[in-house]
Amino acid sequence: MYKKFFGLRENPFNVNPDPRYLYLTRHIQEALACLIYGIQARKGFVLLTGEVGTGKTTVLNKLLGWCRQERIATAFMFNPRLSEAEFFDFMLADFGIPCDSRAKSQVLLRLYNWLLDRYRAGETAVLIIDEAQNLSDEVLEEIRMMTNLETFTEKLMQIVSGCSNNISAEVVRF
């Protein structure tokens, strides 16, 4: 109905918001610019907050598209309700990092070496976490500890997190 009436080639109104149709208001442009700056400047951790339904997931998907266009290695955590082991397993798999061992020490060593290789090649790795308010305290602590993956001057992995405003301060305390 919309396509024919407005002469559109595709239906812009779907259940899943398509970041290609994101209307770039001044606030959304500023949010994207801040997220991109945080990644490019290797700030280590960038948080996108907002009320439920304001488009944080769509903005994160738009950022993910930008990362792919820039050929930046990404892992996109769209369901953070995972155990610590599942979190590491998912992250390594999404980054495309092979690791035969499930021992935490080996997983962290493999991740650290992979990040160092990216850094030496002038490349960036970004972990994007949507719905971060649903992270368990244990996984949140693992993410905090991953901010220690660094050189003397820069963070090796950039972490971008989307989080709803209506959460307890206990959950997002860093």
* 50 token code pair: 């907002």
- How high is the pLDDT of residue 12? 67
Tokens 């992270």 sit on residue: 135
Higher pLDDT: 117 or 1? It is: 117
Lowest mean pLDDT among 64-73, 87-96, 109-118, 164-173: 164-173
Is the pLDDT at 169 greater than 60? The verdict is no
Domain boundaries, the chain: 80-165
Q: What percent of the chain has pLDDT over 90?
A: 59
How confident is the model over 109-157, as pLDDT tens digits? 999 999 999 999 999 999 999 999 999 999 999 999 999 999 889 999 9
- How high is the pLDDT of residue 21? 67
> pTM score, two decimals?
0.84
Q: How far apart are CA 125 and CA 142, in angstroms?
A: 17
Cβ 140 vs Cβ 45: under 8 Å: no
Which residue stretches of the chain are H helix?
Answer: 2-6, 26-40, 56-69, 84-95, 104-120, 137-146
* 10 token code pair: 């595709």
Q: How far apart are CA 73 and CA 55, in angstroms?
A: 23
- How high is the pLDDT of residue 8? 77
